[in-house]
Amino acid sequence: MRDQESRIRRHFLTGVLALLFLASASIVSAPVAAAGDDDEEHHERAVHEIIEKYNIEIKYDYIAMLMRLPNAYGEGAACVLCHNSTDPKRSPRGLDLSTCQGIKNGPTDEHTKDFIKPGNGKGSLIRRYLRNNRMPLGVRFDTPTDLPAIKLVKKWIDDGAKNDEVFRDKILPSFRSPTAYGGEQSCIECHMSNQEPPSFHELDLTSYTGLMLGADAIAKAKEGKPPVKVVIPGDSSASKIYQRLVENRMPAGISPSENRDHPNLTVLLRWVDQGAKCD
Amino acid sequence: MRDQESRIRRHFLTGVLALLFLASASIVSAPVAAAGDDDEEHHERAVHEIIEKYNIEIKYDYIAMLMRLPNAYGEGAACVLCHNSTDPKRSPRGLDLSTCQGIKNGPTDEHTKDFIKPGNGKGSLIRRYLRNNRMPLGVRFDTPTDLPAIKLVKKWIDDGAKNDEVFRDKILPSFRSPTAYGGEQSCIECHMSNQEPPSFHELDLTSYTGLMLGADAIAKAKEGKPPVKVVIPGDSSASKIYQRLVENRMPAGISPSENRDHPNLTVLLRWVDQGAKCD
Amino acid sequence: MRDQESRIRRHFLTGVLALLFLASASIVSAPVAAAGDDDEEHHERAVHEIIEKYNIEIKYDYIAMLMRLPNAYGEGAACVLCHNSTDPKRSPRGLDLSTCQGIKNGPTDEHTKDFIKPGNGKGSLIRRYLRNNRMPLGVRFDTPTDLPAIKLVKKWIDDGAKNDEVFRDKILPSFRSPTAYGGEQSCIECHMSNQEPPSFHELDLTSYTGLMLGADAIAKAKEGKPPVKVVIPGDSSASKIYQRLVENRMPAGISPSENRDHPNLTVLLRWVDQGAKCD
């Protein structure tokens, strides 16, 4: 009798666990379905097909709207809330996004050019700022950009990015540290080999060879292209690995889970592609 | 013993299925509850009661905003993103929604009038375009509007919509085909009798009689009105059945599950009802 | 045999109930997690830290946008939809939020001052109107503000708010009635002692002493401050308990569950703190 009862209990427990698994699976997928993922893709593609078919001109009038709209590029503040003056003391980077000329001029502090490259959305810095997540993923906006590990990476790159003692004894271990860059996970948790999956962007931060090979080696090879270099020896500011450690994605504090290819960003870049005209 | 165990198992299985049903029901309703359905209805009604009580004038200033706002009438692009020029080569239908006069003029290509009928929101084409889903439900935006079955319906209506061989051998079977109109379900899956439920809009597409009777026969009869004709013999463009097969709901690619009576559409139509004034 | 089966059944039922509880708990929490609660807090704080660090000037241009935007302060109509004229016959309270001067002037009917107090967002009435929920929670927007119980509270306060027969025989029982104030729950369901929890705002509406002590007595004492008076004898319009019974939170019909400290409200009040400048 006891045996049978315990068997039944075991059956029941298995059932309960199975149910909970099923229930949680449904729950996880439910909001996605509710948000109409496919529909969203559908309406985005539909609009962009029309824009291409008619070669529709994106007007500055519309860009002005996007700059003033809360949540325009994902959940976050409107651009002009903070970027509304060319005075770097009153507006971050002295970037004024409230006028067309202000957008085109970009930041007025010293260290930026090509914020907008008319005719070249992909090559414009505004794309990088609105799209690239600071690493490690989820690191807080107010995390200092001059953490010891970050400064070390910068100096090492500017000194020539050699496979030297600094790299082996300091840099490589920092890629393994969950906290060296201010976040809660190490670089190598996501970038551990030149294969994706499991390694994001086919980037291997476990060795000098992997780092210097760069990102997306296999994917780019299929297109007959070289890998994407992430270290430019001698030039930290041009090195993607350094950019990702110090540049917060805008708007401030936006969740890295927000769509990097937000339809409004696509529209903004199309306006740049079309010449970033102000009239 | 075995008998009892299998009985218990059966009980358990029934329990599991019941649970899954309950769980999925809760999950389906959960996002709705989370979105505050009742609250939404409450705030929409509250606003419209105020508008009526004070006979509040909807200003063009506000309409201009709605035309420039992404997701204004449900998840989708802002109207002016595409409709920003009267040149049909640069803007679909040559429809310019970025100016008040452009809205009032409507499409500048040949085949539209009454886009806006000042004083008559319900009779204005803009309502149809923002509200009516193309059929079959979920058909993609880029599905051609000159599919053989659609062209046949058009010709058959323009030829007088008779109960002839064409209707019996071609049209009627096409209503039964899941793919004839570019979607994934047949017309008669939803429109199979003159009773709702189960038939949407009390529309019966299984017979000539049903089709010619039209929609909402029972509901309209209660108001002392005739059914809504869906076929106007000789005039395909005035026939709702043809309109629904070729007119995409705007904005492009919007999900048919989006509220057809969006509060912003109600505001827009009220502006039309009030005379569609530009100052 | 029957005994065992019924025991198993009981086990099963307990399991089912436990499961349903777990499932519903997960469902309730799922949308919250999906909405990215932490991320939201993060991006709001990030933006306000920037605004403080740079002492960024909030421009009227931005406030104008917020007044025109649907859902700006939570799910609800745009402010200017209804408040677009200084004529109290055409716009509630004669409040025109479509111009900077109109915002600063506030309602033009007789009974409001300090709608905007330049330099003092917290002391400005606009904060109260956009933030305080009418009581009882969830009461409908169109509930009359001259219900017998509400009029009695008003008169009793204006007559000196004494611990008299009126209070004991009429007011106190009305606090216990679920329907006296037009809602579906009594005042004392949430305000039943001077301790929070369980009593919201440490407010005790079960006795004269509790009511006259006011709200947040313990919390304020920790800051060395007196409790927040909710009754000002002789002045019903200055008495919070009366305000909460007659003032609907804006926009009309907004759900009381919407964030009372909406980031856009914070921005609006900051603009007031900075002097509510129009240029």
Per-residue confidence (pLDDT) for residue A102, from 0 to 100 = 96
CA of residue C250 relative to chain centroid, distance = 9
Contacts of A84 in chain C (CB under 8 A): 56-57, 59, 61-62
- pLDDT of residue A106 exceeding 60: yes
Specify the residue for token string 């609660």.
C37
The secondary structure of chain A in percent helix, strand, coil, rounded to multiples of 5, reads: 50, 5, 45
Distance CA(B259)–CA(B255), nearest Å, equals 9
| Distance, CA of C180 to CA of A246 (rounded, Å) | 59
Q: How far apart, in whole angstroms, are the C-alpha atoms of residue B126 and residue B121?
A: 8
Encoded tokens for B225? 């009105």
Q: What's the confidence (pLDDT) of residue A21?
A: 41
Q: Are B255 and B74 in contact (CB under 8 A)?
A: yes
Distance CA A1, CA A7 (A): 10
Determine the pLDDT at residue B38: 55
Does A23 score more than 70 pLDDT? no
- Is A11 in a helix, a strand, or coil? helix
pLDDT of residue A92: 94
Residue C113: what pLDDT? 83
Q: Which of A80, A81, A84 to mutate to test the interface with C (most CBs of C within 10 A)?
A: A81
Q: What is the pLDDT of residue C119?
A: 97
Structure tokens given for A10: 């075991």
ipTM reported for the complex, 2 dp:
0.77
CA pair distance C84, C66, nearest whole angstrom: 14
Report the C-alpha gap between A51 and A47 in whole angstroms.
Answer: 6
As a three-state string, the secondary structure of B67-110 is HHCCCECECCCCHHHHCECCCCCCCHHHCECCCHHHHHHCCCCC
- Which residues of C have a CB under 8 Å from any CB of B? 1, 5, 8-9, 12, 16, 19-20, 23-24, 27-28, 30-31, 68-70, 75-78, 80-82, 84-85, 89-92, 98, 140-142, 251-255, 257
Chain C residues close to A36, C-beta within 8 Å:
none
Query: What is the tens place of the pLDDT at every residue in B85-129?
Result: 999 999 999 999 999 999 999 999 876 789 999 999 999 999 999
Q: Quick one: pLDDT at residue A112?
A: 75
Q: What is the C-alpha to C-alpha distance for residues B223 and B219, in angstroms, rounded to an integer?
A: 7
Q: Is C218 exposed, middle or buried (0-12, 13-18, 19+ CB in 10 A)?
A: exposed
Task: Please determine, for residue A44, whether its predicted confidence score (pLDDT) is greater than 70.
Answer: yes
Chains near B, with 3+ CB pairs < 8 A? A, C
Residue B279 CB neighbours (<10 A): 6
**Residues of chain B whose pLDDT is less than 50?**
1-37
Taking the C-alpha atoms of residue C97 and residue C91, their distance in angstroms, rounded to an integer, is: 10
Rounded to 5°, the CA angle A113-A115-A118 comes to: 110
Q: Name the percent of chain C in helix, strand, coil, to the closest 5.
A: 50, 5, 45
Average per-residue pLDDT for chain A: 87
Confidence class for position A143, pLDDT limits 50, 70, 90: very high
pLDDT of residue A7: 47
For C105-122, the pLDDT digits (tens) are: 999 987 678 999 999 999
In this prediction, residue A109 carries a pLDDT of 87
Interface of A with C (CB under 8 A): 1, 5, 8-9, 12, 16, 19-20, 23-24, 27-28, 30-31, 68-70, 75-78, 80-82, 84-85, 89-92, 98, 140-142, 251-255, 257
As a whole number of angstroms, the distance between CA A24 and CA B143 comes to 37
Closest-CA residue to A64 (of B93, B96, B94, B80)? B80
Residues of chain C with C-beta less than 8 angstroms from the C-beta of A133? none
Top residue of A19, A47, A48 to mutate, by most chain B CBs within 10 Å, is A47
pLDDT under 70: residue ranges of chain C: 1-40, 111
Cα B57 from Cα B54, distance rounded (Å):
9
C215 SS3 class: strand
| Whole-number percent of chain A with pLDDT over 70 | 85
Q: What confidence tier does A237 reach under pLDDT thresholds 50, 70, 90?
A: very high
